[in-house]
Structure 1
Amino acid sequence: MKTTKPLFSAIVLALLLFSSTTILAQDDAPERPEFIAVTTNHWNMDKEDFKMSEWKAAAKEYHEKVTMNNEYIMGASMYLHNMTADNTEFLTVQTFASWEDIGKFGERSSELENEAWPDEAKRKAFLKNLNSYYANEHSDEIYAPISGAKFMAEKPTKDMLCYVRKSHFAFPEDGTMEEFNKLRMEGNAAIVQKNEYVKAYYPNVHAWGSDKTEFMEGFFLDSMADLDKMFDRNSELMKEAYPENEANKAKGKAWGKYFTGVHGDYLYTFIHDLSK
């Protein structure tokens, strides 16, 4: 598998200079959330009667009766481990229009649970069974989406591969918003938007959590087979957009100062029928 760093996968300086609200206001794309909450969960490996099919049936029932009806959740999705360092992990992602909605969605979910399962005994039994699949351990990060996304043409009707790339800010003293955004959006238009294997692309920066340097990009592909094809196509598009000359060498050097060079790669399976 190829893991070469494409030109467009750099760190976004925007978070350092502007609020996420300002960034979003500059974007003419369709309405997007202001915050994205990513929870890394873990399976309960001690559950003796663990059946993935039964878990999914329960998770889907909760999704349809609660998550889909919660007006404070703009979007929701679930991602299962594919190729990551921990095979017990899975991600739940929820998007929100505002910080206030993050504080409201939990209470609303409780109300919807009571409506969906009015019999208290049955409600407790259902939730106990669903929660029995999960370990107590989890961690949360909140990100802010930025401009440059490639939106899904239509809601997926099948599971997809989600390639996540986490890079890190370098905080250059001589960096400027004008220079960075010019380079970033130039590379985005020439490579991300033109790569037919990338069905959707979502760049996000740290908003609240453990690492303020983190920049997370999500690439959605039809299949694992398309991963290498995406990298090959990136290389082709890069050569077309940035032929070897002194001007492009200078761009590459300017671009490089905005990130540390350290990154991590993760592959997840996006569950299409557990998404909002």
Structure 2
Amino acid sequence: MKTMKVCLVVALFSVLLMSNKSFAQDDKSYIVTVTKLHWNMDLDNFSMDEWKAVEKEYLDKVVKKNDFILGQEILLHSFTDDNTEILLVTTYDNWGAIEKAGDKDDELIKAAWPDEKARKAYFEKKGAYYARNHSDEIYATVPGGKIPKGNFDKDMLYYVRVSHLTFPKDGTEKEYKDLSKQYFDAVTNKNDFIKAYYPNRHAWGADNTQFTEVYLVDSLADLDNALNKNRELFRATWNDDAKRKAFNDKMDKYFTGKHSDYIYKSVHELTK
């Protein structure tokens, strides 16, 4: 169990990033908020096209004009335990930008819908698509991801793997980073089926051991291809049983061996 997990999920140790923006690959850590919304299952005559149009209006009039928001995207359930969930993923430069972005949103909303009645009508229409309950998590990005040069022009599959870190007494951050970089350079970065890769660590939320990795692929078939290619590349670099065991033994001590998997689908028209 642990050996297979290490072969698939090693990364630099530093939310879902998850944004498609080409941020600098340096030591800077960005802040990612993930708001889990839910569809209003009591809404009659739901239209996906109409929902997209309503959200696109807000994206164009508010989100894209808010310089404190570096990137944003909406992810829909594909294979998770809750078909009603929708993830709103937003990337910021730092913690302070979250509050500044909220203030800027208020300013842009009033500018976009100056008439109070029109503004109220729009947000009632927008809000009708969602249930009242939601939850929030905040992550910090980890330098060293596989970052695309720009936004994708089609919906992509997001394979999200949530592992749990341990804090071994005989472990060091340097050792973890060195091992992680070896794996990233030899496997993840060379895997052409993986179009993007975003590692994220817990920053604010329910579980401080959570380590979240996001792999972007074109299709379910390519997800299977990517996992198979990972194993092939891993075995090519650590090319005998003794080398593989030595590497995995060192990495295993940083993880509990427990993980969970989720698959979401992006809505490329609603991406900043």
Decide: shared fold, TM above 0.5. Answer: yes
Is residue 147–residue 196 contact of structure 2 (8 Å, CA) maintained in 1?
yes
Residue 164 of structure 1 pairs with residue 160 of structure 2: yes
The 5 A counterparts of 1:1-276 are: 4-10=4-10, 14=14, 29=25, 34-276=30-272
Aligned sequence identity (%): 44
CA-atom RMSD in angstroms: 1.8
What is the rounded CA distance, in whole Å, between the counterparts of 2:27 and 2:45 in structure 1?
43
Is residue 8–residue 187 contact of structure 1 (8 Å, CA) maintained in 2?
no
Shift of 1:172: 1.0
Is residue 40–residue 130 contact of structure 2 (8 Å, CA) maintained in 1?
yes
Any idea what SS the aligned residue of 2:9 has? coil
Bigger shift: residues 146-155 or 71-80: 146-155
What is the rounded CA distance, in whole Å, between the counterparts of 2:11 and 2:100 in structure 1?
32
Is residue 6–residue 234 contact of structure 1 (8 Å, CA) maintained in 2?
no
Aligned-partner residue type, residue 161 of structure 1: L
Shift of 1:152: 1.0
* Per-residue Cα deviation, 1:214-254 (whole angstroms, up to 9, x for no partner): 01111111122211110111111011011124343222101
Alignment gaps of 5+ in structure 2: 15-22
Q: Which residue of structure 1 aligns with residue 17 of structure 2?
A: none
What is the rounded CA distance, in whole Å, between the counterparts of 1:131 and 1:75 in structure 2?
22
Name the CA shift for 1:59/1:31 in 2 (closer, same or farther; >3 Å): farther
Any idea what SS the aligned residue of 1:90 has? strand
Any idea what SS the aligned residue of 2:235 has? helix
Name the CA shift for 1:32/1:158 in 2 (closer, same or farther; >3 Å): farther
Is residue 12–residue 205 contact of structure 1 (8 Å, CA) maintained in 2?
no
What is the rounded CA distance, in whole Å, between the counterparts of 2:51 and 2:97 in structure 1?
28
Shift of 1:260: 0.4
What is the rounded CA distance, in whole Å, between the counterparts of 1:80 and 1:269 in structure 2?
5
Any idea what SS the aligned residue of 1:231 has? helix
Name the CA shift for 1:216/1:223 in 2 (closer, same or farther; >3 Å): same
Is residue 11–residue 259 contact of structure 1 (8 Å, CA) maintained in 2?
no
Q: Report the TM-score when normalising by structure 1.
A: 0.90
What is the rounded CA distance, in whole Å, between the counterparts of 1:31 and 1:269 in structure 2?
29
Name the CA shift for 1:32/1:267 in 2 (closer, same or farther; >3 Å): farther
Q: Report the TM-score when normalising by structure 2.
A: 0.91
Name the CA shift for 1:224/1:248 in 2 (closer, same or farther; >3 Å): closer
What is the rounded CA distance, in whole Å, between the counterparts of 2:130 and 2:143 in structure 1?
34
Is residue 149–residue 203 contact of structure 1 (8 Å, CA) maintained in 2?
yes
Q: Which residue of structure 2 aligns with residue 20 of structure 1?
A: none
Any idea what SS the aligned residue of 1:175 has? coil
Name the CA shift for 1:28/1:104 in 2 (closer, same or farther; >3 Å): closer
Any idea what SS the aligned residue of 2:154 has? coil
Is residue 8–residue 191 contact of structure 1 (8 Å, CA) maintained in 2?
no
